[in-house]
Amino acid sequence: MKVITKMIRAGLMLSLVTFFFNGLVKAQEVVQLTLEESIKYALENNVEAKNAQLEVLISKGVIGENRATGLPQINSTLEFTKNIQAPVLILPGETGEQIPGGGGGPGTDAPDDITVLPFAVNYQSSLTLSVEQMIFNGSYFIGLKAAKTLKALTEFDKEKTEADIIEATKKAYFTVLINKERKELVSANLIRIKELLKETEALYSEGFVEKLDVSRVKVQLNNLQSEFDKVEAAEEISKQVLKVQIGMPVNLEIDLGQSIADIHSLSELESLLSNPGYRRVEVDQINKNLDLAKLDLKNNQIQYMPDIAAFGTFQRVTGAQRFSTLGDPDRWFSSSFAGLRLNIPIFDGLRKSYKVQQNRVQIRQLENQKHFLEENIELERYQSNITLRNAIRTLNVQEENRELALEVFEMTKIKYQEGVGSNLEVVEADSALKEAETNYFSALYDALIAKVDLEKALGIL
């Protein structure tokens, strides 16, 4: 029995260890992200994207709310009253002689010249049912159109928000990629300089070079190490920025599933330069705002027309001097009525007239904004096209410079190893290579950002 118990305990311990180990492994898993996956994740989890989707739901609720005002409005009221001091009716004194129990005089608090009559019992209750139906109201039909227009506007707002998120996600993703490539390049440079330092120290020990030559290479190595630390920190920061941008928890580890070579294509960049562009959602937004302003104008103009509504009320009332008899069936009495209500506006101090004037000015403002927006879009397309064109040209030049600088460094290193070159030339060639690589990655980043800006200007994000 003891053996069996020990085996059970051992099995439980093994299960617990396996469980915690698997949990630890899962916690340390790295999320692989491509550019398309990052964009998809951002559109589902970014706070702005979520709020834009919620705004669409709100606009649907506004349509239902406006539609509901045209349906019958039915209300019921149940009241109960205990008259602590019953309301009274004051009449001339001679009236009390004709009404049993009426009058003032001896035994009452009222003067002799008036008659005070209570006209309520101790307990009262009523049940009322009222119905009202709008027959004609010009604002109702305009309100329905305005609610639908508002829904269309929120759809365009959502589209604009998504375009902004895609733009920011692409730029953040490209930043991580550039920093990752730079880190790998600086790491390769570190390996190269470490080899050079090892060779120089060997030559120094043989007496072929001076200690000054060794010091120069060490300085270069220290500078590269500092640069590597900066690039590594920049990569981590850019990853955090990307995670925040797409709405991913910052405690998760991510690794980009693509490289610059997978995304950067010179032919793709050049094809954008001949793209004529498509519609911009900003124009759709301002068009819907114009429609809303025109509907508001119509709404204020139609306020001069009368509105018609039908109404009806059914009521049951009861009363008693004692509470115990209040609910007796023979004490309930019914009353009902129905009718039409015609509301005719006559004069409101010119309030509606001033509102109409304001609407007309607002429409003119929106038309001016639309014209200005269309001109700005054309200017943005032209500027983005020129910027990308220049970025491509600069990128080609810097790529050639980097290849030349690498070639010069390799040749200078060979000359130094063969004893026909100086250590100073190698260090200078390495510095020139570092500068060329920095310029290349700067040009590559500018080209990628210019590509995103042109895609936005063309309306193809």
β-pairing, 123-136 with 73-82?
A: antiparallel
Q: Are strands 114-118 and 88-92 parallel, antiparallel or unpaired?
A: antiparallel
- Say if residues 190 and 218 touch (Cβ distance below 8 Å): no
Beta bridge partners of 77: 128
Contact 171, 52 (CB under 8 A): no
Tokens for 416, please give them.
């130094």
Question: What is the full DSSP assignment across 210-254?
Answer: -HHHHHHHHHHHHHHHHHHHHHHHHHHHHHHHHHHHHT--TTSEE
Coil, strand or helix at 325 = helix
pLDDT at 155: 95
Give the pLDDT confidence score for residue 96 in this predicted structure: 58
Listed in sequence order, the DSSP H helices in 247-321 are: 260-263, 266-272, 281-302
CA distances from 306 to 344, 354, 357 (A): 5, 19, 21
Burial class of 29 by CB neighbour count within 10 A (0 to 12, 13 to 18, 19+)? exposed
**Separation in Å, CA 388 to CA 247, 382, 392, 402:** 29, 10, 6, 20
What is the pLDDT tens value at each position of the chain, 461 positions in all? 444 444 445 454 544 444 444 444 444 578 888 999 999 999 999 999 999 999 999 999 999 989 999 999 999 999 999 998 888 888 887 665 555 554 444 445 667 778 888 888 889 999 999 999 999 998 999 999 999 999 999 999 999 999 999 999 999 999 999 999 889 888 888 888 888 888 888 888 888 778 888 888 899 889 989 989 999 999 999 999 999 999 999 888 988 888 887 877 777 778 888 888 888 999 999 999 999 999 999 999 998 999 999 999 999 999 888 888 888 888 899 999 999 999 999 988 899 899 999 999 999 999 999 999 999 999 999 999 999 999 999 999 999 999 999 899 889 888 877 777 777 888 888 888 888 988 998 899 999 999 999 999 998 87
Rounded to two decimals, what is the model's pTM? 0.80
pLDDT at residue number 8: 47
Query: Is the CB of residue 154 less than 8 Å from the CB of residue 58?
Result: yes
